Amino acid sequence: MRASLPPGPSIHPLIQGVGLWSRPLAYLERLRARYGKRFTIQFPFTVPFVMITEPDQVREIYTAPADVLHPGEGARVLEPIVGLKSVILLDEGAHLEQRKLLLPTFHGERMDALTDLVTEVTEREVASWAEEPEVALHPRLQALTLEIILRAIFGLEEGDALTALRTRLARLLSYGDNPLTLVPDPSPRQLEILDRFGPIKGFLTTRKEVDQLVFEQIDRRRREGGGGADILSTLLEARHEDGSEMSAQELRDELMTLLVAGHETTASSLAWTFARLAREPTVLARLTDEAGAGEDDAYLTATIQEVLRRRPVLPNTAPRMVKQPIEVGGWLYPAGVCLVANAYLLHHDADIYPDPYEFRPERFLERPPGTYTWIPFGGGRRRCLGASFALLEMKIVIASVIKTYGLQPAGRVVEMPRRRNITVRPEAGAAVRLERRAALPVAA
């Protein structure tokens, strides 16, 4: 099979896995420089992965028939946390039906309510931060985005239930710092062994505690009859095509999916934003002026788009398992391999983005992001359901921070990327100096 795939490294899959874990972006750059814009890599216990980095081929992947490419099978690494009924892990008709149930959660009046919630939580939390000569913002942003998504999903006010969920979820997600969490589709026996003796000891116990708390919230809300403005209320009202309501397990898996997807990815994107803004005084000054004017957020939007171009926290967007032979870019791929639209390499192609390593938000004022050239949220039928919510959240948090604090870099160089499960975060946690503003300057 290898002979029928694009070229790639011949070293042992374990060494390739170490390379991608320890140097997640530089390793991809090195492979592209050696093998070209389309290459094959393989990790321990996985099928071959073909990295696709050209827009025309990305389009072919995103528009392929649902029964030919299976993104759900390509994402099995997430099953131990999100569960088998998660929309991320489903394919074909099952995925489409579940996606329809979730669509109303981030649209219309629900988004208006979520906007108010994000603003309230963000302004309170950001105002409580202490002015420090050096602070790693990533942990604070993790706490903030976890608080937002917990409140958005369950509608909980401060109390024992919210505290318990907050504590145990943070502990569960912290296991993502270990590369063993990238082992795809582990068997129950493998998980049990790792839980008892390995470096992710206690994972199953923590997951059981989280599940118990989530099921308690589902049961309580069903007894109360729902009707709230939170996401759980929306899902309790949802009905399958046959008129049946979502089962408790379906609800659990989708809620966990939203918790994971709506927490770590946004926190890391915000961390990259502030790590960069602290070193880009011209960009920061323009954002500050825009915030002071309070009339337009075009430059803020462009800045977020540029951050997500330079540092997509999911470099590999939704690997797609080939179920039937498919031709992409003139290459025929057999069943049993994964095709991966690589966001990082696509975003750093000089043929698409001139001077791709420069941080220049103006490029998105000149031309809006392309459907197949800017893919931090994936694309096609599998584009992230919460993309609009994530962008809204980033806008509110960034505006709140720059209104409250001046930012200065705490280190000499831009931070290196480090893996956390399938995401990429700043190595030093976005270390900056926070200087509380007396008042926000008003633009001339």
3-state SS, one letter per residue, for 10-61: CCCHHHHHHHHHHCCCHHHHHHHHHHCCEEEECCCCCCCEEEECCHHHHHHH
Report d(CA 163, CA 229) in Å as an integer: 21
> Strand 338-342 and strand 49-52: pairing?
parallel
Nearest to 315 by CA among 348, 347, 342: 342
At 440 the pLDDT is: 54
At 198 the pLDDT is: 66
- CATH, domain range 2-436: 1.10.630.10
Residue pair 60/171 in contact (Cβ under 8 Å)? The answer is no
Task: Tell me phi and psi for residue 67, to 5 degrees.
Answer: -90, 0
- DSSP code, position 381: G
At 1 the pLDDT is: 37
Q: How far is CA 232 from the centre of its chain?
A: 21
- Going from N- to C-terminal start, the domains of the chain cover 2-436
At 186 the pLDDT is: 66
Give 141's contacts (C-beta < 8 A, 6+ positions apart).
267, 270, 271, 274, 397, 430
Residue pair 23/314 in contact (Cβ under 8 Å)? The answer is no
Q: With a cut of 70, which residues of the chain have pLDDT below it?
A: 1-3, 180-187, 190-191, 194, 197-198, 226-227, 412, 439-444
Predicted TM-score (pTM) above 0.95: no
Residue-wise pLDDT tens digits, 285-296: 999 988 877 778
